[in-house]
Structure 1
């Protein structure tokens, strides 16, 4: 396949912008770019095809691996064909424009976000554990007075502090979306309409401010650690 037969778009994030993301896939399909996958670098990958009038959907799979075939069969029966998956958790589907939404009611859509965000938050705790271990190790090195350069300790300590505060950033992001888009689940069968209500740039600007506050807290912790070295 030639160089110009592939197209890459930076993903907005299927965890927080699934509606807007699927609308982007739909628009690309209409232009003749067929969605292939979301790669590990966070890019949506397309291949050159023919213009199609298709709709897309993404769902978070919270079941066991042995339940996957039944899960996919359920969507296939409903008219939704699997396109690809991301880490066996996010499954992308496509269907004809007149196919009913993959979510049958508001409650199922709410439950989808609940399970998905819980999973992402629990995953973030791994970073916190790693950061905590790093900071404990640094304290041990200091107490033992091992001949480790302060510059190296500071460099490692930065990542340790980042890991410890990472779940706070994830939680703050989830809380923002939950409060800012309180009526989201009402659009369970009209994701395209909800997508038009979202503003990625505005949201990221607000989150940038929140991140700055969290960063300031990390900076204070970093400064305190620096003063002890």
Structure 2
């Protein structure tokens, strides 16, 4: 019988490194990352392994995924799973990091920030439109409230993602 376990994510914009460390800890206990799940990860029971995990943010077309992952595999990283422009890789401890300098790290976070920004802007617009419609047409109070409840977490996530791309005093990292 196949055993699975769920591990909740604390959110990539807030604790990407912590999530990757927790996945490594789980692998050492015999729970390997299998796939992304709603707000977290699906783990599968296996032999305990010492692994490190890393994430990359990159929109890759399905037909280009193999070429994309081969680049990481050549550096010792194994593709584990992908979802919505997020790709997690694993490797043996001691493998050179995927991102080893400020320039490539900045590009990584800019790619992640862009996706969140688009959703946050769209939801913000819809929230403001629903508030306007509420006052102009008498639209139910529940519609703007519902949009606000959905929009707020995306705005906070965008702010956190944006802060990762900025260094001290608002300059790019």
Output aligned runs, 1:147-226, within 5 Å: 153-162=140-149, 168-174=155-161, 178=166
Q: Give the structure 2 partner of residue 134 of structure 1.
A: 130
Q: Give the structure 1 partner of residue 10 of structure 2.
A: 12
Instruction: Sort the Cα spacing of 1:169 and 1:97 in 2 relative to 1 into closer, same or farther, 3 A.
Output: closer
Q: Give the structure 2 partner of residue 28 of structure 1.
A: 26
CA offset digits 1:70-121 (Å, max 9, x no partner): 321110111111100122x110101111211111322101221122112211
**Separation (CA, whole Å) in 2 of partners of 1:17 and 1:36:** 20
Instruction: Sort the Cα spacing of 1:116 and 1:38 in 2 relative to 1 into closer, same or farther, 3 A.
Output: same
Question: 1:44: how far off?
Answer: 1.6
The TM-score with structure 2 as length reference comes to 0.81
- Higher percent of residues as strand: 2
Question: Secondary structure at 1:78's aligned position in 2?
Answer: coil
Question: 1:62: how far off?
Answer: 4.1
Instruction: Sort the Cα spacing of 1:51 and 1:104 in 2 relative to 1 into closer, same or farther, 3 A.
Output: same
- The reply on whether 1:81 has 2:48 as its aligned counterpart is no
- Higher percent of residues as helix: 1
Question: Which of 45, 49, 54 is the equivalent residue of 2:51?
Answer: 54
Question: 1:29: how far off?
Answer: 0.6
Q: How many residues align?
A: 169
Q: CA RMSD in A?
A: 2.7
Is there any run of 5+ residues in structure 2 with no aligned partner, and where? none
**Separation (CA, whole Å) in 1 of partners of 2:28 and 2:158:** 36
Instruction: Sort the Cα spacing of 1:25 and 1:167 in 2 relative to 1 into closer, same or farther, 3 A.
Output: closer
Contact residue 129 and residue 164 of structure 1 kept, 8 A: no
11-20 vs 66-75, greater mean Cα deviation? 66-75
Question: 1:25: how far off?
Answer: 0.8
Instruction: Sort the Cα spacing of 1:90 and 1:99 in 2 relative to 1 into closer, same or farther, 3 A.
Output: same
Is there any run of 5+ residues in structure 1 with no aligned partner, and where? 143-147, 186-229
Question: 1:161: how far off?
Answer: 4.3
Q: Give the structure 2 partner of residue 115 of structure 1.
A: 111
**Separation (CA, whole Å) in 1 of partners of 2:122 and 2:53:** 32
Question: 1:37: how far off?
Answer: 1.4
The TM-score with structure 1 as length reference comes to 0.63
